[in-house]
Structure 1
Amino acid sequence: MQTVFDAAVDATLIDAALAASVPESMWLDVPRPQFAPLAGEVTADLVVVGAGYTGLWAALHAAERQPGRRIVVVESDRVAWAASGRNGGFVEASLTHGLENGKSRWPNEIELLERLGMENLDGMQADIDRLGLDVDWQRTGMLTVATEPHQVTWLQDAAGAGEGHFLDEHAVREEVRSPTYRAGLFSPDTCAIVHPAKLALELARACVAAGVQIFEHTRATSLETPGSSVGVQTTAGRVTAQQAVLATNVFPSLLRRNRLHTVPVYDYVLATEPLTDEQLARIGWRHRQGVGDCANQFHYYRLSADNRIVWGGYDAVYHFGRKVKRHYEDRPQTYRRLAAHFFLTFPQLADVRFGYRWAGAIDTNTRFCAHWGLARGGRIAYVNGFTGLGVGASRFGADVCLDLLDGADTERTRLEMVRTKPMPFPPEPLASIGINAARWSLDRADHSAGHRNVLLRTLDALGLGFDS
């Protein structure tokens, strides 16, 4: 069977809409401070590898927990250049990539995980307010939409489980006008939207104000633990510290043991030019919620502060060899598919053009949410595997790393989710075969009224399944 997104769209419309788009992240088209590279050797109490959300939250909260502590952050490129400057800016409360994913893995902890997730989201908002971070924060809530008949039942069931307010076809189209919508689920408290690059850049500013040193263009190349210290060798010098947090996420870990636990999966995004008031009025969207549909291959979209529609998702592409490469971001067939799906969703915006197109790699593991660990006698903590929902969960992940380094017995460190690891991905070519077979199966499920084939049912039974 076909889905609503299989309908044909005029190729000339797609050509015109994409013609002037710039191949770079819209979010990074903002003023960015420059931090000098490391030169020579420095000593610190804590060294953080990676200046994305996880690393910056870890550095900031470590400085606040213990003022005067010497903290150094090393970054291979620039603050926010990778996932922190390329994502959709959805700040979800969920720590488990959704309630169903959490229930299937930690049924005895799910209520605690949900509470900790809400506390983390509220705490993030409080930090932003307290520190005066200019990040375009809006606590708008999340609108999940059904675009196929079988998805309506899913949303009704979710509403019955207390996950939000069910909206019938008329009600959901009153919120956002799309002929593809059959129903909706509105969760008012569990999601905020943010300017993702500004969030990282403002966190960096707050870190510096707290006494943290940040070094850009300083790639960590090796890790040593002589005596009681941690040595991080970089392309520009060396940092010797008492403890370390590894926040490299999608990039190869300095700990070889972790390199099979995550794979890079590429996500693609378009952003329109700013909509006029008249164009915006055609689709409503007065309450500016984040929106996502509930297929396995799903789209996510939201409004920016200047009323661009940021439109991403659907294709999630794994490339053989689990490498992160710049040329993987240039995928015309995916940008054309996204543009077609945009116009199917909003045919009343046929005069809208795209200003930007970009992509980024998501750090994915086999349980689809973060995992943690300690190494080298408890001197090194790490977290990986946020699988596309790390804007909010990275703050929680950073706090867990600090708790682990402190040897603290907390609600966070006692979690089974924190104490256990996901199953690693197999080496190539098995990883590529398995990942692409699962992706094909998820697409088939979307085209079969949600029915999962033998492969997906087997993965579910093994605890490796995914419910978006």
Structure 2
Amino acid sequence: MSTISTPGAATASGVRNGEVSYWYSSIGLPSYRGALPGDRDADVCIVGAGFTGLWTAYYLLHQQPDLRVVLLEKEFAGFGASGRNGGWLSAELAGSRERYAATHGHQAVVELLRLMRSAIDEVTRVATVEGIDADIVKDGVLHVARNRAQQNRLRHEIDYERGWGAAPEDLRYLEAAEIRDRIAVAGARAGLFVPHCARVQPAKLVRGLAAAVERAGGKIFEQTTVSEIRPGSALTDRGTVSAPIVLRCLEGFTASIRGARRAWLPMNSSMVVTEPLSDSVRSQIGWQGAELLGDFAHAYMYAQRTADNRIALGGRGIPYRFGSRTDQRGHTQPRTIETLTSLLHHLLPATAEVNIAQAWCGVLGVPRDWCATVSFDRPTGLGTAGGYVGSGLTTTNLAGRTLADLALRRDSPLVELPWVGRRVRPWEPEPLRWAGVHAMYALYRAADRREDHRDLDHTSNLARLADKITGR
């Protein structure tokens, strides 16, 4: 296997930029597996070797070990969002629950939410069984509110979750002093603690899962670019894989397939990670556990304290590139690095003493209605799963199990879930989708500024306008 060469660039301040992600920099980029050696027959062909494709293959092979399962990957397994995300194994479900309930009813959505929570433990179980050390610690997630409008949204969130079946132990309102006891977030007025979340090092998890799929008999071919998916085949630059079942598991890279450019929009998300924290900084910040940290801003952020005692924080940079183009090596714009660094220092002032070690970015898949989807068409044998809108680390597991059951035509409760078989209209042609996405995030950022500066006690109308424009 050849070694992957990823030229990295350092900013003027010495920050490593790109190189896929810090998660890979910390463990080393993998060596390439071999490319597809030519035309090949299979029982199931999976396009994309990220978490969705790997989880699907894992459960297919454990349910039917004699299956010939082939995964095709342009780069290496876990190259995309699977190895670049914020490391949140959370129970967050993308999209409007009301949209899911409109076709399947309230109780079906409650069941989907329950299964999302249990999927966190399922991922942990598989990691334990397969001997994958991915720094998984289930210490929950803390969302903070830092102005009155955010605090109102926090209270509304608690009522909303209870309306969808959340038990008292699933949510805990925290006063400012209780937040400081956990993490010294500057200006935090209130918090919402949810126990259903675990920290993970995503590159370790996806690398271990790929190895587990191979041990189960799956074949992963890398350096193989799929250009077109048809009923019964996937066409690549290395040959054609013929299979009665072909599953598209590309998430943010879906637009690379012929005819799918407007199916899911590749939304960009960026991250920075600090150097290891000193004892002095740690004493000022607190954060003794492994809980994740989020907020109630519209242009939201997500953070974790890593197992090697750094802080990794992410948010939106340039949210979308014209024509559904995607970054390939994670290189992040200096302005985005500055914005995320400033946000980190604003939230945790003690981090101003700590250098930023690396920045990177990646893309996630966004359907037009912002709701995750799992689908399989029996007559053609074509299926897909994705559209997680940034909440995919846990969702990929449940989606992969669901897609495996659909492909095997198993009559399981998973195939009846409300995200199965949904039809969503495509995104608008350019330049409308570029203008719409950039307008949305400009409005969200302006709404955050207005809520901060004016200390509004309600959500800014600018954010409501952004929601209306985009259909969120």
Q: Same-fold call, TM > 0.5? A: yes
Which whole-Å deviations, capped at 9, do the CAs of 1:302-331 have from their partners, x for residues lacking one?
011101100111445112211113488431
Q: Does 1:451 align with 2:459?
A: yes
Q: Does the CA-based 8 Å contact 1:456-1:465 persist in structure 2?
A: no
User: Aligned partners of 1:45 and 1:326: how far apart in 2?
Assistant: 30
Taking the aligned partners of 1:22 and 1:84, their CA distance within structure 2 comes to: 20
In 2, distance between residues paired with 1:71 and 1:294?
A: 42
Alignment of 1:300-311 (within 5 A): 300-311=302-313
Task: Give the counterpart of 1:335 among 334, 337, 353.
Answer: 337
Q: Whole-Å Cα distance in 2 between the matches of residues 384 and 66 of structure 1?
A: 23
The residue type paired with residue 139 of structure 2 is T
Which residue number in structure 1 is paired with residue 224 of structure 2?
218
1:83 aligns with 2:81: yes
Residue type matched to 2:83 in 1?
G
Give the conservation status (yes or no) of the 8 Å contact 1:45–1:69.
yes
Q: CA, structure 1 residues 254+81, in 2 after alignment: closer, same or farther (shift >3 Å)?
A: closer
* Equivalent AA in structure 2 for residue 27 of structure 1: W
Residue from 1, 16, 31 that aligns with 1:22: 16
**Partner of residue 288 from structure 1, selected from 280, 287, 290:** 290
Per-residue CA shift, 1:169-202, capped at 9, x if unaligned?
11111110122211111111x1111111111100
The residue matched to 1:134 in structure 2 has which SS?
A: coil
1:405 aligned to which of 384, 392, 407: 407
Q: For residues 214 and 466 of structure 2, what CA distance do their matches in structure 1 show?
A: 49
2:281 alignment partner in structure 1: 279
Query: What are the superposed Cα offsets for residues 373-396 of structure 1, whole Å, 9 maximum, x if unpaired?
Result: 334724121113111111110111
Evaluate the alpha carbon distance shift between residue 315 and residue 292 of structure 1 in structure 2; reply closer, same or farther with a 3 A threshold: same
Structure 1 residue 452 displacement after superposition: 4.5
Alignment of 1:311-350 (within 5 A): 311-315=313-317, 317-326=319-328, 329-350=331-352
Evaluate the alpha carbon distance shift between residue 286 and residue 21 of structure 1 in structure 2; reply closer, same or farther with a 3 A threshold. same
In structure 2, relative to structure 1, the CA distance for the partners of 1:419 and 1:380 (3 Å cut) is closer
Contact 1:158 1:164 in 2 (8 A): no
Question: Match of 2:208?
Answer: 202
Indicate the residue corresponding to 1:377 in structure 2.
379
DSSP-derived class of the 2:374 partner:
strand
Residues 18, 354 of structure 1: 8 Å contact kept? no
> Normalising to structure 2: TM-score of the pair?
0.87
Equivalent of 1:180 in 178, 187, 190:
187
In structure 1, the partner of 2:142 is 143
Name whichever of 58-67 and 372-381 sits farther off. 372-381
Q: Deviations over 1:104-163 (max 9, x none)?
A: 652613311211212222222211122221111111100000111222233234345345
1:361 and 1:434 map into 2 onto residues whose CA distance is: 17
Residues 83-122 of structure 1 mapped to structure 2, 5 A cutoff: 83-96=81-94, 101-103=96-98, 105-106=100-101, 108=106, 109-122=108-121
**Residues 245, 382 of structure 1: 8 Å contact kept:** yes
Contact 1:413 1:419 (C-alpha < 8 Å) held by counterparts: no
Ranges in structure 2 where 5+ consecutive residues have no aligned partner: 1-9, 163-167
Letter in 1 for 2:222: E
Q: 1:19-76 deviations in whole A, cap 9, x for unaligned?
A: 1211121011123243111112222111111110011111111110101211111100
Could you tell me which residue of structure 2 aligns to residue 8 of structure 1?
none
Give 1:261's aligned amino acid. Answer: A
1:167 aligns with 2:166: no
User: 5+ residue gaps in structure 1?
Assistant: 1-15
d(CA) in 1 for partners of 2:42, 2:218:
10
Give the Cα–Cα distance (whole angstroms) in 1 for the partners of residues 256 and 224 of structure 2: 14
Within-5 A mapping of 1:386-397: 386-397=388-399
Match of 1:418, SS? coil
Taking structure 1 as reference, are residues 314 and 39 closer, same or farther at Cα in structure 2, changes over 3 Å only?
closer
Paired letter, 2:179: V
**After superposition, what is the alpha-carbon deviation per residue over 1:210-233, rounded to whole angstroms, capped at 9, x for unaligned?**
1111111011122343xxxx2222
Measure, in 1, the Cα distance between the counterparts of 2:60 and 2:119: 16
Name the structure 2 match of 1:12. none
* Correspondence for 1:60: 58
Q: CA deviation at 1:354?
A: 0.8
Q: For the structure 1 residues 332 and 40, does the alpha-carbon distance in structure 2 shift closer, same or farther, using more than 3 Å as the test? A: same
Partner of 1:49: 47
Q: CA deviation at 1:103?
A: 4.3
Distance 1:328 1:137, change over 3 A: closer
TM-score scaled by structure 1?
Answer: 0.88
**Cα distance in 1, alignment partners of residues 227 and 378 from structure 2:** 17
Shift in alpha-carbon separation, 1:256–1:76, aligned structure 2, 3 A: closer
Q: CA deviation at 1:429?
A: 1.4
TM-superposed CA distance for 1:80, in Å, is 1.4
What letter corresponds to residue 132 of structure 2 in structure 1? Answer: L
CA distance in structure 2 between the aligned counterparts of 1:327 and 1:203, rounded to whole angstroms: 22
Cα deviation code 1:198-255 (max 9, x no counterpart): 1110001101111111111011122343xxxx22221122222221211111113576
The alignment partner of 1:267 has SS state of strand
- Structure 2 CA distance for partners of 1:191 and 1:316, relative to 1, 3 Å: farther
The structure-2 alpha-carbon separation of the partners of 1:328 and 1:456, relative to structure 1 and needing over 3 Å to count, comes to farther
- Aligned mates of 1:17, 1:246 — CA distance in 2: 36
- Give distance in 2, aligned partners of 1:255 and 1:371: 18
- In structure 2, the CA distance between the partners of 1:49 and 1:36, relative to structure 1 (3 Å rule), is same
SS of the aligned residue for 2:416 comes to: coil
Between the two proteins, the alignment pairs up a number of residues equal to 441
CA distance in 2, matches of 1:408, 1:67: 15
Partner Cα separation in structure 2 for residue 419 and residue 254 of structure 1: 22
CA 1:212–1:327: 2 relative to 1, 3 Å: closer
Answer yes or no: is the 8 Å Cα contact 1:165–1:187 preserved in 2: yes
Q: CA–CA distance in 2 between the matches of 1:89 and 1:339? A: 19
